[in-house]
Structure 1
């Protein structure tokens, strides 16, 4: 079974590849698919009076299925005495249209510079992934597949944060990560009268508001062999009116690999969002379980079940709990090119568990609606595509 790696993590920290004294690498992924889905509506926004409308089936071309399409530059320089400087600039784009993944932001995925020491670990500065996102990366069955795995529900819409200082170190089978953001930098339009309290982190770094829009977290990852375990914490403090809220997540996950062919994994994530008056906006528990099976050296199967227990949503404690079943089959034509088929069935939410409890974050970030239409309680999607890595 292929060894899963933290491709989104700080470059070089989690691998043992040798490098020249100074190097710059161009890399990327182009991933495009055709998708069919049913019962889909519009994302609830002020422009449609928060009304998703009637349900329709849709067949469309998407960018990103197994992975988001992106290109990037990464480099490092050997400074001697076990010290290296490094940088990463990574830009997401829509392979179906050629547009930037995020408007007016060239390097929306990662943009940081830092230093790495053989003895003391790595310190980086810029736009980076949160500690919780990195901590869970090797414990998600679909490996953060852009299509259908509910990344935003798991890690929050702020899983990438601006203005971030991050420290990471490896000691044998243990990896430790911690970060602090001076301004998270996520701004999404409201999808209900309460959505800003759930979703918006703002740009931060405003004089006189030291707490507003900040974020921080930590992760501890233990991977001694076939068994793996992680515990992670994330918090960000979105500005709301003249104050700031508090959004917290705590996650634990584990995995085990059998005979090098089957990897089973699962976890639990506790979540609580509060507004500027410390009133609960969202309180949920999230569970997942799944497996990867390497049927042949080229053919991999993935199965994942996700369940969100919404305990409180803006004062309501009787919300129907969303759940989803996801299946993916991937065939490698070479080390760089894959063909894949993905399908998912969601109940009490749209695909990727899109609902008021998630603030419809996936639809807003992906520029493709997965919102369920009025009166719909289920949705199914099927996609077939190709991914090329360079």
Structure 2
């Protein structure tokens, strides 16, 4: 069945399920976000670029269906189908994946939590991203270089089973396992993720860990980095391109935040590793450390101002031929303003500057890279976005 027919069938199903006969026991909601922006980049492959973008804004354009059916005794059947939309050409986001943002079904209970199965975000998205700069002001100009730790949610986990706990006095946690599905090898193309957060008054503490074995697959739609329909990988740029041979990937993140009146302070630290890089690197492991500091000021109930600083350092590895690569450093600063015209519509402006130094994973001089939005031909790049976001 082609995607347009599939979507028509889903909408028809939603209409049927919300008929008066079914209303007493089930509910289906259609929702979405349209986030469009004019983007300026000072250098992409040697030239300035102006573009319209609807996928890398504050939240990324999408539409979805979510529903719940009351099964009695506090138990509910739940589902979500959510598709990214490129509103500039009408195509799907997430590499052409029809429901690339989320697609899952499961059971939920207020007392015991929820268990869901399908294509889902990892625990970084649930327990760290909402409290990072990408959760406060989520444009690509504020994501970490290359989105190495997935806080920009570039990658989802296919074939996953996820448990999310209820809230225990401000503490919550979750766990997820991605089933590999490889005959004769239970662990191949599999991964797992854990996360937890504690929210108490002005204090926020959070942590998450994700591990994936055989993260890069030659089969589009499988693996971790290559699980979109077109198989495009986030290991496509010089920052980490040479590490596509890694047989394992892991990232651990710790974060903390504190609110003082109208000011919210936020900091986070992550460690990223591409392990067992193969014979070309004598099976070495490439490591990155990323630190972020963000300050958000609520000027009024409708105006939010933000400033952030991010520092990424790559620990170099030695090739089998004896060459040292991957010793690289990235400094990134950004400022933004977000003004709400109503509860559902806001306009925003963000500007970021990034400077790279050292040697990339390929052995060439490191170049600027704003969350995989196109590499600079030099060590510097400016990223500016003016946008409008509408929720329905």
TM-score range (shorter-chain normalised) is 0.7 to 0.9
Q: Which structure 2 residues correspond to residues 6-45 of structure 1 after superposition, within 5 A?
A: 21-41=25-45
> Which structure 2 segments of 5+ residues have no match?
1-22, 219-244
Q: Quick one: higher RCO (CA 8 Å, sep 6+), 1 or 2?
A: 1
Structure 1 pair 359/307, CA: closer, same or farther in 2 (3 Å)? closer
Asked if the contact 1:355–1:372 (Cα under 8 Å) also holds between the matched residues in 2, the reply is no
Query: In the alignment, is residue 176 of structure 1 matched against residue 176 of structure 2?
Result: no
Paired residues in the alignment total 326
The match for 1:78 is 70
Q: How far apart, in 2, do the equivalents of 1:300 and 1:330 lie?
A: 5
Q: Report 1:16-165 matches (<5 A).
A: 21-41=25-45, 55-64=46-55, 65-143=57-135, 145-150=138-143, 152-155=147-150, 159-165=155-161
Q: Give how far 1:241 is off.
A: 9.0
Measured after TM superposition, the shift of residue 293 of structure 1 is 0.9
Q: CA deviation at 1:215?
A: 1.0
C-alpha displacement at 1:149, in angstroms?
A: 2.5
RMSD: 2.7
Q: Who is 1:298 aligned against?
A: 302
> 1:96: Cα distance to partner?
1.5
The answer for the alignment partner of 1:366 in structure 2 is none
Q: Which has the larger radius of gyration?
A: 2
CA contact (8 A) 1:280 1:312 kept: no
Alignment-derived partner of residue 6 in structure 2: none
Question: Secondary structure in 1 aligned to 2:342?
Answer: coil
How far does residue 372 in structure 1 lie from its aligned partner after superposition?
1.3
Q: Which residue does the alignment assign to 2:10?
A: none
Question: Is this contact kept in 1: 2:277–2:285, CA < 8 A?
Answer: no
Q: What TM-score results when the alignment is normalised by the length of structure 1?
A: 0.77
2:346 pairs with 338, 341, 347, which one?
Answer: 338
Residue 324 of structure 1 corresponds to: 332
The CA deviation at 1:81 is: 0.7
Change (3 A) 1:389 1:20: farther
- CA contact under 8 A between 1:310 and 1:317: conserved in structure 2? no
Q: Does 1:269 align with 2:270?
A: yes
Deviations 1:68-110 (A, max 9, x none): 0000000001111111110000000112211111344210000
Compute the displacement of 1:382 (Å): 1.2
Give distance in 2, aligned partners of 1:283 and 1:377. Answer: 21
Matches within 5 A, 1:361-372: 362-363=371-372, 369-372=373-376
CA contact (8 A) 1:40 1:56 kept: yes
Q: Cα offset for 1:361?
A: 9.7
Q: Contact (CA 8 Å) 1:339, 1:386: kept in 2 or not?
A: yes
Judge conservation of contact 2:355–2:381 (CA < 8 Å) in 1: yes
* In 2, Cα distance between equivalents of 1:248 and 1:153: 10
In the alignment, structure 1 residue 224 sits paired with structure 2 residue 200: yes
Change (3 A) 1:241 1:378: closer
User: In the TM superposition, what is the alpha-carbon distance from 1:240 to its structure 2 partner?
Assistant: 6.6
Q: Distance in 2 between matches of 1:275 and 1:330?
A: 43
Q: Which runs of 5+ in 1 are unaligned?
A: 1-18, 42-54, 184-204, 364-368
